[in-house]
Structure 1
Amino acid sequence: MTRAVLSIGSNLGDRQAHLRSVVDAFAPQLIAVSSVYTTAPWGPVPQDDYLNAILVVDDSDATPRDWLARGQDLEQAAGRVREVRWGARTLDVDVVWCGERRDGELRSVRSADPELTLPHPQAHNRAFVLAPWLEADPDAVLEVDGVARPVRELLAELPPAERDGVRRTDLRLRPVIS
């Protein structure tokens, strides 16, 4: 029923292993996965740099809340502790965007629920989301203030320092196929 864009990040412990655990968990639903990017932390809390990536996943039986619940389960399994807003974390899995198939067309899901606001209200301001998303889906579109905008344009409009702070690494996340 839904396709989702998941932003994943880690800056504690074995960062790459934490990201890979998400890719492995979503392997049956995985449509695309970006390269791994390194970025400075976002927010006021001093901490180490993050590794970030984007996953595009699809499941005819999943709802947007299912994607959120699965992401939170993976965060918990990685030992995520939510004590400080914007603080360091072993794993962060954010549902950035969801689309539902209606009449054969994929349409953006909107939600004002504080537990799952869709599309993610700050995604258009974050190069660490937009750059890997554009790589994973060059035709991606994100609704901002009720207007559908190409992710490519949103990324280009960010300040150069914001864009330049997101650097692609040589790391790759591939699902383990048994």
Structure 2
Amino acid sequence: MNKAYLGLGTNMGDRIEYISKACEILEQNNHIFKVKKSKLYETKAWGYTEQADFLNMCVEIETDLNPNSLLKVCQEIEQKLDRKRIIRWGPRTIDVDILFFNDIILEANDLLIPHPRIKERAFVLIPLIDLNNTLCVEGKTIKEHLNSLSDKEREEVKELIGNERKPI
């Protein structure tokens, strides 16, 4: 059995609905046997900043899929939920990225594992810490990478609680 971590993000339409549907599709996949979810966070846009705030979360899954097959599942989820790739880091209905897959390091044209920008993104590091704070990238734990980011970057990631969120 393989363990993988995925990052989910959305900033268009009913953001909670898009995240919920992506999780539902993962849970219904016959090759994914366990889905553990992080808390849900609202974050400022990263990269291209002239857009609405994002909802982000991470999931830990157990699967019998290999990395390339899991990538196809992620891309199918994006396609089912009408993801359009118009502007790099631009608005999207859903984004599903493979962050980690077991302990492998993979460098292919269409897939890099671990995800190359994990250590720069508080909106990925914080929900990953919810799931497993011992994960490492480039010899440092994700918690160490989070601590190396600025206070501003960390503070822009806000947990949704209470009436702001419904169960996912």
TM-score by length of 1: 0.85
Tell me what 1:94 maps to. Answer: 97
Structure 1 residues 23 and 164: CA distance shift in structure 2, 3 A = same
From 145, 154, 157, the equivalent of 2:148 is 157
Structure 1 residue 142: Cα displacement: 2.3
Tell me, yes or no, if the aligned pair for 1:33 and 1:173 is still in contact at 8 Å: no
Tell me, yes or no, if the aligned pair for 1:4 and 1:67 is still in contact at 8 Å: no
Q: Distance in 2 between matches of 1:173 and 1:156?
A: 29
- How many residues end up aligned between the 2 structures? 161
Alpha carbon RMSD of aligned pairs, Å? Answer: 1.4
Deviation per CA, 1:22-74: give whole Å up to 9, x if none.
21122253342011100000013410000000000011x21111221111101
Structure 1 residue 14: Cα displacement: 1.0
Structure 1 residue 172: Cα displacement: 5.4
Q: Secondary structure at the match of 1:58?
A: strand
Ranges in structure 1 where 5+ consecutive residues have no aligned partner: 100-107
> What percent of counterpart residues are identical?
30
Tell me, yes or no, if the aligned pair for 1:36 and 1:53 is still in contact at 8 Å: yes
Moved over 3 A (4+): none
Structure 1 residues 128 and 172: CA distance shift in structure 2, 3 A = farther
Tell me what 2:6 maps to. Answer: 6
TM-score by length of 2: 0.90
The answer on 1:44 being equivalent to 2:48 is yes
Ranges in structure 2 where 5+ consecutive residues have no aligned partner: none
Tell me what 1:105 maps to. Answer: none
Q: Secondary structure at the match of 1:30?
A: strand
Structure 1 residues 95 and 172: CA distance shift in structure 2, 3 A = farther
Please state which structure has a larger fraction of its residues in strand. 1
Tell me, yes or no, if the aligned pair for 2:38 and 2:127 is still in contact at 8 Å: yes
Tell me, yes or no, if the aligned pair for 1:53 and 1:132 is still in contact at 8 Å: yes
